[in-house]
């Protein structure tokens, strides 16, 4: 924050205004807890302000618009105060696009709303602004032809038509974005190994019969060109995210969770230092504390049940079960603890097992080496009435090791049953430094039915980019909207920026 803004925030002038800045900076903003909210409003704790960066439907260039239900955000710095953001557009709410009837016309409109956007942003004074008509602005959508990075392709096709269901994601050390196709079956349905088809609930498969096996992959995208490829190497499932790091020997390692009740946590160890295309996929057994190989040449049971490694990759979930993977309570986002190097995994909930509040699990790799095949695990922090949050989902650390996380109570459960008293979904911080170390504080509340997703810091940690996803998703008709956020009228998923002295103090460990 600059001096003027700091003084304005303190509301001081005169004598105080002439004090040296470091003396002023020593004055703390007392944290006033943010109460739970059931309002259709985006509220923030005192000392934190938000601005809308871009809304659903805004023109990003002459031919494309910003898509629906923005989720994961990744930041790619350019020169000076400029950057590119990758933003996932996970899925659609047909009511808000062209209508609920499953006509070709309506579905064609919806196919342009998913995938992702690359937009340029620029820092002006202290604000990040969307740069309309930047030559870098582009859409990737359900029509974009994307090659499989896998010899032979998938089902004899070298390319897939489009990407969709992009939930969270990741970034690689070489600067590309990763977008993870999560609940892909809602678009073109699912087909099992015996050929049985389950129709999708969005009904796109009524008009377009595209192979379900072409979705459920991690997609890698070049920031400046938008060139994309589907990484078959990481297996196929409801990928929430892909968190990338390096082993002690320098090999690329990616962790990815399958966000479904009783599904698994995977780890891919690359053969190389600069690619995710070739290597070995493993799955976690918590009981054994081992990463178990999913390589058909390592596992006789896979050799017996699958015709080749491609088949194992396509049906990674079945392969994982055959080798004894541990069922988990919806493994979602994954981040690396900057203080310890440990791997933290959100386990959002598992209502079938009466786990309503979820937790964040800590994985400690043997010798602290992501390349290790042994680990221990424990609960890092658990949701519930005592900690005041439920259903942790997206995670991001600041350099002091404070864990910022969003909650994901589904819209129809908000403040009901076990979630009574938890209010709307929120942004929380688990503090590990400063006078409140060990506490979880609520710092922002989402509008009605919405969930915050995609938290992403600017490199100077002065701004947190955040998605506001699916406001008003329980609306049954345009006459009975459950949210009018942010502008009145039809609710619009949007990306916001959060800034302010509260954020500054937390990331500096001075709250």
- 119 vs 167, which CB is nearer to ligand FEO? 167
Among 186, 179, 194, 166, smallest CA distance to 311 is for 194
* 258 near ligand FEO, rule: CB under 6 A: no
Q: What whole-number distance in Å separates Cα of residue 447 and Cα of residue 42? A: 5
The structure tokens 């340029």 sit at: 120
Alpha helices (H) in 40-125, listed in sequence order: 94-97, 104-111
Both tokens of 203, joined, read: 């009904």
* 258 near Ca ion, rule: CB under 5 A: no
CB 430 within 8 A of CB 511: no
* 167 near ligand FEO, rule: CB under 6 A: yes
Least distance CB 206 / Ca ion (angstroms): 27
Least distance CB 67 / ligand FEO (angstroms): 15
* 259 near ligand FEO, rule: CB under 6 A: yes
CA angle centred on 117, ends 442 and 54, rounded to 5°: 50
Q: In the window 191-250, what residues touch Ca ion (CB under 5 A)? A: none
* 332 near ligand FEO, rule: CB under 6 A: yes
Residue selected from 240, 258, 263, 337 as contacting ligand FEO according to rule CB under 6 A: 240
- Residue 473: contacted member of Ca ion, ligand FEO, none (CB under 5 to 8 Å, by partner type): none
Q: In the window 323-342, what residues touch Ca ion (CB under 5 A)? A: 333
Residue selected from 110, 182, 213, 337 as contacting ligand FEO according to rule CB under 6 A: 182
- 131 vs 276, which CB is nearer to Ca ion? 276
Q: What whole-number distance in Å separates Cα of residue 460 and Cα of residue 337? A: 18
- 182 vs 337, which CB is nearer to ligand FEO? 182
Query: DSSP code of 237?
Result: S
Cis peptide before 74 (omega within 30 of 0): no
- Residue 182: contacted member of ligand FEO, Ca ion, none (CB under 5 to 8 Å, by partner type): ligand FEO
Q: Which helix (H) or strand (E) holds 365?
A: strand 359-365
* Dihedral over Cα of 376, 381, 383, 385: its sign: positive
DSSP string, 381-398: EE-BTTTTB--EEEEEE-
Q: In the window 290-319, what residues touch ligand FEO (CB under 6 A)? A: none
* Dihedral over Cα of 97, 110, 52, 499: its sign: positive
* 90 near ligand FEO, rule: CB under 6 A: yes
Kindly list the distances between the CA atom of residue 461 and the CA atoms of 28, 46, 359, 396, 501, in Å, as whole numbers in the listed order: 18, 18, 26, 11, 12
Q: What is the three-class DSSP state of 33?
A: coil
* 337 near ligand FEO, rule: CB under 6 A: no
- 42 vs 168, which CB is nearer to ligand FEO? 168
Least distance CB 120 / Ca ion (angstroms): 22
Least distance CB 359 / Ca ion (angstroms): 15
Both tokens of 95, joined, read: 């009511």
Q: In the window 369-398, what residues touch ligand FEO (CB under 6 A)? A: none
Least distance CB 367 / ligand FEO (angstroms): 31
CB-based burial label for 25 (10 Å; 0-12, 13-18, 19+): middle
The structure tokens 């955040």 sit at: 466
Kindly list the distances between the CA atom of residue 92 and the CA atoms of 88, 100, 104, 179, 229, in Å, as whole numbers in the listed order: 12, 11, 15, 17, 23
- Residue 333: contacted member of Ca ion, ligand FEO, none (CB under 5 to 8 Å, by partner type): Ca ion
Binding-site string for ligand FEO from residue 36 to residue 75, where x marks contact by CB under 6 A and - marks none: ----------------------------------------
Least distance CB 254 / ligand FEO (angstroms): 17
Residue selected from 393, 398, 449, 504 as contacting Ca ion according to rule CB under 5 A: 393
- 164 vs 167, which CB is nearer to ligand FEO? 167
Binding site for Ca ion (CB under 5 A): 333, 393, 395-396
Binding site for ligand FEO (CB under 6 A): 90, 167, 182, 240, 259, 332
């Amino acid at each position: 924050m600059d001096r003027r803004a700091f003084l304005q925030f303190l509301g001081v002038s005169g004598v105080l205004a002439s004090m040296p800045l470091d003396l002023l900076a020593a004055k703390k903003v007392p944290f006033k807890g943010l109460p739970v909210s059931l309002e259709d409003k985006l509220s923030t704790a005192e000392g934190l302000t938000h601005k809308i960066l871009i809304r659903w439907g805004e023109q990003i260039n002459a031919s494309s618009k910003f898509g629906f239900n923005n989720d994961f955000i990744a930041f790619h710095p350019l020169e000076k105060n400029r950057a590119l953001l990758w933003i996932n557009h996970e899925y659609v709410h047909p009511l808000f696009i062209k209508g609920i009837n499953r006509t070709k016309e309506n579905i064609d409109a919806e196919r342009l709303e998913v995938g992702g956007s690359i937009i340029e942003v620029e820092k002006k004074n202290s604000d990040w602004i969307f740069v309309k008509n930047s030559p870098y602005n582009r859409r990737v959508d359900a029509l974009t032809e994307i090659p499989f990075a896998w010899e032979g392709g998938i089902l004899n096709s070298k390319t897939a038509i489009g990407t969709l269901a992009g939930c969270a994601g990741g970034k690689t050390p070489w600067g590309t974005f990763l977008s993870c196709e999560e609940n892909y079956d809602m678009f073109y349905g699912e087909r099992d190994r015996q050929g049985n088809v389950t129709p999708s609930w969005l009904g796109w498969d009524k008009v377009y019969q595209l192979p379900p096996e072409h979705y459920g992959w991690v997609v890698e995208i070049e920031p400046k060109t938008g060139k994309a490829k589907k990484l078959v190497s990481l297996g196929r499932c409801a990928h929430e995210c892909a968190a990338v790091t390096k082993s002690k020997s320098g090999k690329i390692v990616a962790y990815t969770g399958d966000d479904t009740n009783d599904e698994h946590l995977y780890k891919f160890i690359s053969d190389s230092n600069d690619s995710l295309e070739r290597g070995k996929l493993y799955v976690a057994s918590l009981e054994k504390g081992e990463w178990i190989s999913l390589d058909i040449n390592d596992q006789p049971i896979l050799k017996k049940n699958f015709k080749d490694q491609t088949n194992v990759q396509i049906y990674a979930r079945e392969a994982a079960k055959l080798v004894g993977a541990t069922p988990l309570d919806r493994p979602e986002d994954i981040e690396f603890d900057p203080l310890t190097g440990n791997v933290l995994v959100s386990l959002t909930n598992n209502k079938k097992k009466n786990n309503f509040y979820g937790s964040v699990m800590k994985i400690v790799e043997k010798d602290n080496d992501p390349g290790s095949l042994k680990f221990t695990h424990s609960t890092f922090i658990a949701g519930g009435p005592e900690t005041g949050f439920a259903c942790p989902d997206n995670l991001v650390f600041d350099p002091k090791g404070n864990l910022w996380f969003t909650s994901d109570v589904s819209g129809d459960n908000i403040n009901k049953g076990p979630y009574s008293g938890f209010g709307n979904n929120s942004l929380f911080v688990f503090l590990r430094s400063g006078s409140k170390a060990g506490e979880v504080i609520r710092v922002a509340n989402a509008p009605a039915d919405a969930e915050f997703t995609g938290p992403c810091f600017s490199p100077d940690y002065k701004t947190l980019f955040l998605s506001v996803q699916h406001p008003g998703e329980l609306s049954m008709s345009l006459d009975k909207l459950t949210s009018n956020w942010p502008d009145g009228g039809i609710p619009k998923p949007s990306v916001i920026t959060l800034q302010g002295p509260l954020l500054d103090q937390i990331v500096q460990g001075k709250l």
